[in-house]
Amino acid sequence: MRSYAFFALKRLIQLAVVVFAGTSAAFLVAHFSPISPVETIIGRVSGQSSFSPAAIESLRATLTELFGFDEPLWQQYLNFWSRFIRGDLGPSLIAFPTPAMELVMRALPWTVGLLTVAIVLAWLLGNILGGLAGYYQNSRLLKGFGVIAIGIQPIPYYITAFLMVVLFGYIWPVMPISGGFAMEIRPAWTLDFILTVLWHALLPAASLVLAGIGTWFLGMRALVSNIVTEDYVTYAELAGVRRGTIVGGYVIRNALVPQLTALAMALGGIFSGTIITEQVFSYPGLGTLLIRAVNGGDSGLVLAVSCVAVIAVAAAIFVIDLLHPLLDPRVKVG
Amino acid sequence: MRFTALATASSLALAACAGAAIGQEEGAAPPITEFPRDQTLILQNPEPPATNPPNFNIWVAGNGAGWSTGLHQLVMDTLWFIDPDEGLDGPLYNQLAAETWQYNDDFTEMTVDLREGIYWSDGEEFTAEDVVFTVETQMETPGMTWSAAFSDVVETVEAVDDYTVRFTLQEPNSRFHALFSVRWNGAWIMPEHVFSEVEDVMAFQFNPPVGLGPYTLHSFDPNGYWYAWEKREDWDRTALAEWGEPGPQYVIYRSIPTPDNRLIEMANGNLDVIHDLTPEATFSIIEDRETARGWFPGFPYAHPDPTLPMVIFNTQRAPFDDRRVRWALALMLDARAISMASYRGAATLSAIAMPPTGTHPDDYHAPMQDWLIDYELDLGNGETIQPYDPSIGSQIAEMVRPQFGEDVPTEEAAIQRAFGFGWWRQDLEAAATLLEAAGFTEGRGGWMTPEGEPFEFEVNTFTDGVINRMGTMIAQQWTQAGIEVTPVADPQIFASTLPLGDYDVATAWSIETWGGDPDLSYFLDSWHSDFVVEPGERQPARNWQRWSSPALDGIIEEVRTTEFTDPRNLELGRDFVRLMVDEMPVIPMMAYNVFSVYDTEYWEGFPTAEERPYANIVNNWANSKYIFTQLRPAGQTEGD
């Protein structure tokens, strides 16, 4: 037990170092962006108006001071950490003075909702079908599914997503191709609203499941194909253990450890958003927010999204590290 | 069974998460049941989804509020509008002002008489106090959108009475009214009775907005993808009422980032107006959908905006400081190929530094044809040529006719409006003579500079779209003519490359005009040599070419002391055009054609190029507000 506590402490220190390093890197990348939010705003304000050059210069000076860009970078870095420790990631510069985290929290539930469902469904379906295909290697149905999975897996996701838009939005227009819910329905805790959210999420979620299922399927089938040759499986079969028990209890369960690790990594990656899905389906989420932040040179917002992503991925790895010794006794904690 | 349970649980998780997202905004939108399609107009908003959807404070620069979400078309208002096309009764609208601006003799004072009987959407009357508050608040609050513009010009502003405002200016300024004149947007008037109660104007969300336009906020997507507006019951107490009752009861602006989805939504009847498509997508939907059409009834369909895509030379860098080199590069271009590459032929060319749109063809292009045809270019070796070819527009029309048939106009006047009048004839021999006169030599590997180095440079252009295609084709043509030119896709072209002068040659624009008025002050004042900076310093908009000349300064200074409506402005504009042809600091190419498409399945009465060009169909312009008064449900006659 002591050795496990020591192991956990080491991993916790690693987590802190990763968060510090990742966040610092994000700070530097965000601040070295060649895109200036001041110029982005000036471009928008003056680009379509009869502004004199002198007025533009005045606006530039004001915004530079307002955003704190007149301070040296090291000072901005220290300011960032002093705010970060207090849980404040500062204002967004393209939605000034709205706190960047407020914008992140507005978009986050959409991304988490859509991706969690899509990743978990793809993981479940892919692993179960892959496990069965690995065990029942002579099944025609599962062989057929394997061929389909191998066929779909290399198709770039944007092609899959676009084909679904064309198929279900244009050729057979039965599903919504944009937005998170119907305009006619008021956002509230009503059955109508929940159903419209599900209806609008169906196509983007299906595209993600379709794109993700093949990888899980092929990975699991390969793992199981190795496990079925193990002695304990042969022994169980000879002992007359039910096939379902062998597949579910012995084979798939033993093959699940690496797949669980990969699942945790995938779930941690959710917080980076899914830019292509959001673009293709005009679906709300973190990806769109991140694009806007990058294009607008909004270092505050880029940092906020990056910090959430860094912390999420690091935390996911941390949790998996802690769980591994519990799931698999072969893992040493010393 | 387990799968079903898991799927159900996952779905509920999704719903819960989405619900949590929406729950934050609960209360922001009123309850509704539906938007009856025959009472609802749906338009595409070209802005990406608003970064800060619940924010409607349009007076704060960079607060993440959307502008062309319907907010500035349907809710905001100001003193005057200048239409980029012909307008309902001429391009100049006295909107909140009862008549045009009144300056004193030396342009140090401007007095405005306001309309009476105009009301804010919350029932308060609009008065001179609102105008005074708008100016004073922004002058006192740096960071607001028009604060710098006012602070640099206004000395004092006072309400003479409830309906009269007087501005005293720091220096003579004959174009001060331009700040309150909408070309796309303008300085919108703030509701004094709302903002005077606000402690922090910069942080105020202004939700729901209180406006002077005929619509109020109905509801909006907390994610910023759509905004729905409803007609005010007292729409007749707004300035727009002069032109009739707006047709749609509801107006929805939708942000649809991908062109494919816009096309699909219109094909499915979920979108009445698309702001912009690619040329190819436009051709496709017009062919497939009977009720869809563009600004022109046939080819080239698109609306020419009063913006002039061009080749911009950095005239502070050699050899682009030499007009012979600039002219040589112009004569190496084949405008027909550039039109086909960029717009698939659907470009409206302009050989002169003036967008061929709105009233400009009548004011500039047509009357200057003879001068252009007779124009003689000195090649530097004693020879002259007449480089202008008035038939280029007709040649392009013939090039696209085999594909588009009857959609391509046949009458000369229609061809000139659609494809442009003419352009510079490609003349590689004359270009070579000019380069040789400038000290260049032609070797086996191509042109060499006077210093004996290969003549090579980059062309900074857009990352995608028609301007990217244009820049790439131009670079290719120069390369074919013996100059090593590389196109560079530049995402920061307007934000840093052009302002910092960090380029040799670029394809972008430095000329934008009112469109509906011959006055050029909108862009030209910023071209004065007073504003041209040293190399390496940041150049204020819009003289990206950093070009100056005493003759140009003379024109600008005379414009400054000439009243806006004085016919002399047209003469000064033509002098400017002639000077630009002589010096060629930029190579004008074409209008910025916007492929707006509208569908008449549900609504009719949109402006058209051939019959009623009363407004710009490009719907993110605030000027598009006049269109709403002309719309009626499809199939309904005028008297219904």
Q: Tell me if B493 is assigned to some domain.
A: yes
Q: For residues A246 and A236, is the Cβ–Cβ distance under 8 A?
A: yes
Whole-number pLDDT of residue A256: 84
Chain B residues closer than 8 Å to A105 by CB = 24
CATH number at residue B146: 3.90.76.10
Question: Do B137 and B232 lie in a common domain?
Answer: no
Residues whose CB falls within 8 Å of the CB of residue A330, separated by 6 or more in sequence, listed in order: none
Q: Tell me if B82 is assigned to some domain.
A: no
Task: Please report the residues numbered 371 through 410 in chain B whose beta carbons come closer than 8 angstroms to any beta carbon of chain A.
Answer: none
- Please name the residue of chain B whose CA is at the shortest distance from the CA of residue A171: B264
Residues whose CB falls within 8 Å of the CB of residue B584, separated by 6 or more in sequence, listed in order: B323, B326, B327, B330
Chain A to chain B Cβ contacts (< 8 Å): 253
Task: Please report the residues numbered 608 through 637 in chain B whose beta carbons come closer than 8 angstroms to any beta carbon of chain A.
Answer: none
Question: Do B345 and B489 lie in a common domain?
Answer: yes
Q: Tell me if B84 is assigned to some domain.
A: no
Chain A residues closer than 8 Å to B495 by CB = 35-36, 39-40, 43, 297
- Domain A108-284: give its CATH superfamily: MetI-like (1.10.3720.10)
Give per-residue pLDDT as tens, A287-327. Answer: 888 888 888 888 889 999 888 888 888 888 888 888 877 77
B176 shares contact with chain A (CB less than 8 Å): no
Contact between B32 and A184 using a beta-carbon 8 Å cutoff: yes
Question: Do B338 and B235 lie in a common domain?
Answer: no
Listed residues B141, B166, B195: the one ending a domain: B195
Task: Please report the residues numbered 8 through 47 in chain A whose beta carbons come closer than 8 angstroms to any beta carbon of chain B.
Answer: 34-37, 39-47
d(CA A240, CA B415): 87
A66 shares contact with chain B (CB less than 8 Å): yes
d(CA B309, CA B370): 24
Question: Do B228 and B274 lie in a common domain?
Answer: yes
Q: For residues B506 and B517, is the Cβ–Cβ distance under 8 A?
A: no
Question: Do B294 and B191 lie in a common domain?
Answer: no
B232 shares contact with chain A (CB less than 8 Å): no
Question: Do B355 and B449 lie in a common domain?
Answer: yes
Q: What is the ipTM of this complex?
A: 0.84
Instruction: Delimit the CATH 1.10.3720.10 region(s) of chain A.
Output: 108-284
Most distant CA pair in chain A: distance in Å?
Answer: 89
Domain carrying residue B180: 89-195
d(CA B7, CA B13): 10
Q: Tell me if B639 is assigned to some domain.
A: no
Nearest to B196 by CA among B254, B235, B140: B140
pTM: 0.89
Provide the number of structural domains found in chain B: 3
Q: Sheet containing B273-274: which strands, arranged edge to edge?
A: B215-220, B226-231, B250-255, B40-45, B273-274, B597-599, B292-293
Whole-number pLDDT of residue B29: 40
DSSP alpha helix (H) spans, B171-278:
192-195, 259-267
Whole-number pLDDT of residue B2: 44
Phi, psi of B113, deg, nearest 5? -95, 130
Whole-number pLDDT of residue B612: 93
Residues whose CB falls within 8 Å of the CB of residue B146, separated by 6 or more in sequence, listed in order: A49, B59, B138, B179, B187
Whole-number pLDDT of residue B6: 45
Question: Do B179 and B257 lie in a common domain?
Answer: no
Of residues B148, B186, B496, nearest to A39 (C-beta): B496
pLDDT by 10-residue block (mean), chain B, 640 residues? 46 51 44 78 94 94 91 98 95 97 96 98 98 97 89 96 98 95 95 97 95 96 94 98 97 92 93 94 92 92 95 98 98 97 94 96 97 97 96 95 91 93 97 97 93 97 94 98 97 88 96 94 94 90 95 96 95 98 98 95 95 94 96 74
B81 shares contact with chain A (CB less than 8 Å): no
* B85-123 burial code (b ≥16 CB/10 A, e <16): bbbbeebbbbbbbeebbebeeebbbbebbbbeebebbee
Give per-residue pLDDT as tens, A33-56. Answer: 878 888 888 877 776 666 778 888
Chain A residues closer than 8 Å to B494 by CB = 43, 47
Pairing of strands B505-508, B215-220: unpaired
Residues whose CB falls within 8 Å of the CB of residue A93, separated by 6 or more in sequence, listed in order: A37, A67, A296, A297, A298, A299, A300, A301, B62
Whole-number pLDDT of residue B118: 98
Q: Tell me if B152 is assigned to some domain.
A: yes
Question: Do B352 and B406 lie in a common domain?
Answer: yes
Q: Tell me if B83 is assigned to some domain.
A: no
Listed residues B135, B167, B195: the one ending a domain: B195
Q: Tell me if B294 is assigned to some domain.
A: yes
Whole-number pLDDT of residue B253: 97
Which residues on neighbouring strands pair with residue B384, listed in sequence order? B378
Whole-number pLDDT of residue B10: 52
Question: Do B30 and B105 lie in a common domain?
Answer: no
Q: For residues B365 and B375, is the Cβ–Cβ distance under 8 A?
A: no
Question: Do B348 and B452 lie in a common domain?
Answer: yes
Instruction: Please state, in angstroms and as integers, the Cα–Cα distance from residue B95 to each residue in A74, B34, B232, following that order.
Output: 51, 33, 18
Of residues B11, B49, B148, nearest to A55 (C-beta): B148
Question: Do B470 and B529 lie in a common domain?
Answer: yes
Whole-number pLDDT of residue A272: 63
Positive/negative CA dihedral, B248, B249, B253, B256: negative
Of residues A165, A194, A296, nearest to B19 (C-beta): A194
pLDDT in tens, chain A (334 residues): 678 888 889 989 999 999 999 999 988 888 888 788 888 888 777 766 667 788 888 888 888 888 888 888 888 888 888 888 888 888 898 888 889 999 999 898 999 889 888 999 999 999 999 989 988 888 899 889 889 988 888 888 889 999 999 999 999 999 999 889 988 888 888 898 899 999 999 999 999 999 889 889 999 999 998 888 888 888 988 888 888 888 888 888 888 888 888 888 788 777 666 788 998 999 999 888 888 888 888 888 999 988 888 888 888 888 888 887 777 766 666 5
Question: Do B352 and B465 lie in a common domain?
Answer: yes
Q: Tell me if B526 is assigned to some domain.
A: yes
Whole-number pLDDT of residue B512: 95
